[in-house]
């Protein structure tokens, strides 16, 4: 039992050292495509581009039909309603095992209070696609 634990720990450490930790086990296809992105320097009353990176992990082309974001609390006296993030509805083709960029927009409400200065809101993205 101890030997097995030591072996497993060693394997993880080695994988990290090589920088080749797979996001998913090699024999298991991921269930979802990934969406990542962030935006800095938001100012009241102005919208800024929120550049998203969409990664298709599958061996088939997908057509992304919608992407949205759920806004999480910033931990500051700045209510969620002060931040808005646009949604995407349309058709964005992402080829097999490749990455495409999608630009949404984010903005702080014009009357955002001083508590919003420097606030960082967590964003959780969700999207739908059709696999071809």
Partner 1 sequence: MSRLLTPKRVALLAVAVVLVGSSIAIGAWNATGSGTGYAKAGTSSSLTLGDASASTVADLYPGSTGNVKITVTNPNPFPVSITTVTQTASTSITSDKGASCNSSTGVTFTTQSSLSLALAAGATNTFTLTGAVAMSNASANACQGAVFSIPVDVSAVSNA
Q: Which residues contact partner 1 (rule: CB under 8 A)?
A: 31-46, 50, 52, 54, 58, 62, 64, 67, 69, 71, 74, 78, 83, 85, 106, 108, 110-114, 116-132
> Shortest approach of partner 1 to residue 109 CB, angstroms?
9
Give the Cα separation of 119 and 78 in Å (integer). Answer: 7
> Shortest approach of partner 1 to residue 4 CB, angstroms?
33
At a CB cut-off of 8 Å and minimum separation 6, what does 82 contact? 108, 109, 112, 113, 116
Residue 1 or 45 having the CB closest to partner 1: 45
> Shortest approach of partner 1 to residue 15 CB, angstroms?
22
At a CB cut-off of 8 Å and minimum separation 6, what does 42 contact? 48, 83, 106, 107, 108
């Amino acid at each position: 039992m101890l030997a097995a634990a030591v072996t497993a720990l060693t394997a993880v450490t080695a994988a990290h050292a090589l920088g080749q930790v797979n996001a998913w086990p090699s024999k298991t296809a991921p269930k979802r495509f990934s969406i990542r992105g962030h935006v800095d320097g938001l100012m009241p009353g102005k919208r800024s581009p929120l550049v998203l990176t969409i990664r298709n992990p599958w061996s088939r082309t997908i057509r992304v039909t919608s992407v949205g974001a759920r806004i999480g609390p910033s931990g500051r006296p700045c209510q969620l309603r002060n931040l808005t993030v646009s949604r995407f509805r349309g058709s964005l083709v992402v080829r097999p095992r490749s990455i495409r960029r999608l630009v949404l927009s984010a903005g702080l409400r014009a009357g955002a209070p001083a508590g919003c200065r420097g606030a960082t809101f967590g964003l959780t993205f969700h999207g739908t696609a059709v696999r071809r």
